[in-house]
Chain A
Amino acid sequence: DAKTTQPPSMDCAEGRAANLPCNHSTISGNEYVYWYRQIHSQGPQYIIHGLKNNETNEMASLIITEDRKSSTLILPHATLRDTAVYYCIVRVVYNFNKFYFGSGTKLNVKP
């Protein structure tokens, strides 16, 4: 699986958009980009995933660059409950594969 690079921490004001970047410059054509988050003392929670098109769901938007070497997770209106560690993962889409979690980005949403 390709590796990802994320900033270790970011701050965001409550109510503002949080934009979390991820670099995956060695991503290959059959790898999806997944985002998970982990709130303190809980199991990781799925947020969104995509291959090459931008994706949006009720939680967030995922913007993937045209060359697919980087992506941005957008939380449109961050709340204090969005404070968590956010993990960007690339995962080969074939049978018998696993999720590799890196160090993630600790997002601190401040009032």
Chain B
Amino acid sequence: GAGVSQSPSNKVTEKGKDVELRCDPISGHTALYWYRQSLGQGLEFLIYFQGNSAPDKSGLPSDRFSAERTGGSVSTLTIQRTQQEDSAVYLCASSSDLLNTEAFFGQGTRLTVV
């Protein structure tokens, strides 16, 4: 597709369940970012993939959060044993490997933990 695609657009889950959020970056983009945005708040960095390098996981809030990127393309963010405070919009972005290019964002997945 022409842009970053995220699925599902909305997800409601019960507390304690695991969820998987998917991001399809723009074709050819080697960098992929995950952010979280709670209601009325700014964007919180979670994790960053760049090519075949080890990801920067410094923003993951707990060990319940993990992400992988298969084949340098699609990425999945997994949240285990979801809690109500995990409710937020999860945003994915991608950019090319040129150093001063911009990142393009998807529309996000709105996660609600009930």
Contacts and interface: CB of A to CB of B under 8 A. Distances in A.
B100 A32 contact: yes
A110 interface: no
Interface of B: 4, 33, 35, 42-43, 45, 48, 50, 53, 56, 91, 93, 97, 99-100, 102-108
Nearest to A42: B107
A44 B99 contact: no
A98 B45 contact: yes
Interface residues of A, number: 21
Chain A's interface: helix, strand, loop or mixed, by majority?
A: loop
A100 B104 CA distance: 14
A44 B48 contact: no
Nearest to A51: B100
Nearest to B53: A96
Interface string A24-61: 00000000101000000011111001010000000000
B50 A94 contact: no
B100 A49 contact: yes
A59 B12 CA distance: 36
B100 A43 contact: no
Nearest to A50: B100
B10 to A, nearest CB: 11
Given A101-B35, A104-B42, A46 B102 contact: yes
A98 to B, nearest CB: 5
